[in-house]
A and B are shown apart, each in its own frame.
Chain A
Amino acid sequence: DAKTTQPTSMDCAEGRAANLPCNHSTISGNEYVYWYRQIHSQGPQYIIHGLKNNETNEMASLIITEDRKSSTLILPHATLRDTAVYYCIVRAYMDSNYQLIWGAGTKLIIKP
């Protein structure tokens, strides 16, 4: 079962920051939060991951709340190419292995 909940869909204007929320209220202390995206008809693409601290890379920023029950992925200047399904994922320890538990994702549509 997914350990994350996300809005089904969101819109954002091109050039603006896209803020994608994710709830993971049952996350355990050593479970990481990952974000991937899937552009139509392609394989998922890694974006970023974090545990407690906020993280930033060339693609996005990840803001994790202090209680770790939610996080926000920020695409600072969205372009049309950022239209995709964005998955917020928890890496959990299950059956003697770490596994990524995928949710349903948020369909982000960037509008001109």
Chain B
Amino acid sequence: DTAVSQTPKYLVTQMGNDKSIKCEQNLGHDTMYWYKQDSKKFLKIMFSYNNKELIINETVPNRFSPKSPDKAHLNLHINSLELGDSAVYFCASSPYPQGAGGKTTGELFFGEGSRLTVL
């Protein structure tokens, strides 16, 4: 069974459209993340949710809206897509937030990525 699964894996769309990427984890983790990997391969965190509550919200255009219906799911909706949104988006999960309660584990479990191409 896939631990962290994202759909779709590939998404090609026109500028101005609205699209969603879905993520599900079956690891029983409390914390989920969205990362963006640009063409230079840098990974940057966008959002993090802990038990359905937003805990990290980096400087991301408000066209990006995460939604966590339950702690096993974190979806990403993008409005009015722009050329610069083209990237690979990774969903990840961890048992708890980084550094929570003095815990040190940093292991994030990543999905396979969703490659978004905006034309």
Contacts and interface: CB of A to CB of B under 8 A. Distances in A.
Contacts of B97: 97-98
A38 B99 CA distance: 23
Interface residues of B, number: 25
Given A51-B104, A91-B98, A43 B55 contact: no
B112 interface: yes
Interface in A13-62: 32, 34, 36, 38, 41-46, 49, 51
B62 to A, nearest CB: 17
A49 B109 CA distance: 14
A46 B45 contact: no
A85 B111 contact: no
Nearest to B113: A43
A85 B104 contact: no
Interface of A: 2, 32, 34, 36, 38, 41-46, 49, 51, 85, 87, 91, 93, 95, 97-100, 102-105
